[in-house]
């Protein structure tokens, strides 16, 4: 356990690996439920619309997108430039990296593991991403 600074409120807290303090984590989870309920009724709402209607800040919405708890996209797969792969800068609909970059990292990890003489478990390749509906709109993950 170590003392870290919360990514949201900037206060120090005792961390077991999290980057967010317990208070902000509860607020983030509450925000997700509020967004979820709003998106059930308005499943093609933009980030701006969701933020205005729910009172949840765009910062929290972007965090939920990067943590793969929300999706953004349209019928043609256009993600509106909201999120970009942190490795290759290609537009993505959720998370921090595109499928190609994730698979490259997995492949490099598997090669590194096979180069050393300890038992290994093969890391799974990232599954195919589902196509999205809507015009650069938010969706709940798994919908």
Distances (CA, A) of 132 to 76, 83, 89, 94: 8, 15, 20, 11
Tokens of 111: 């090669």
Confidence of residue 21 (pLDDT cuts 50, 70, 90): very high
Average predicted confidence (pLDDT) for the chain: 79
Mean pLDDT in residue range 97-114: 88
pLDDT at residue 112, as a whole number: 82
pTM here? 0.66
């Amino acid at each position: 356990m170590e003392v870290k600074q919360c990514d949201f409120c900037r206060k120090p807290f005792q961390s077991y690996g999290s980057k967010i303090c317990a208070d902000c984590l509860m607020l983030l989870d509450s925000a997700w439920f509020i967004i979820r309920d709003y998106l059930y009724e308005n499943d093609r709402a933009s980030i701006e619309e969701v933020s205005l209607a729910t009172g949840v800040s765009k910062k929290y919405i972007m965090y939920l997108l990067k943590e793969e708890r929300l999706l953004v996209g349209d019928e043609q797969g256009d993600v509106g430039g909201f999120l970009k792969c942190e490795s290759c800068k290609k537009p993505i609909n959720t998370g921090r990296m595109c499928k190609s970059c994730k698979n490259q990292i997995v492949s490099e990890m598997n090669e590194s593991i096979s180069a050393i003489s300890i038992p290994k478990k093969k890391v799974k390749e990232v599954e195919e991403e589902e196509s999205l509906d809507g015009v650069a709109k938010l969706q709940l993950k798994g919908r």
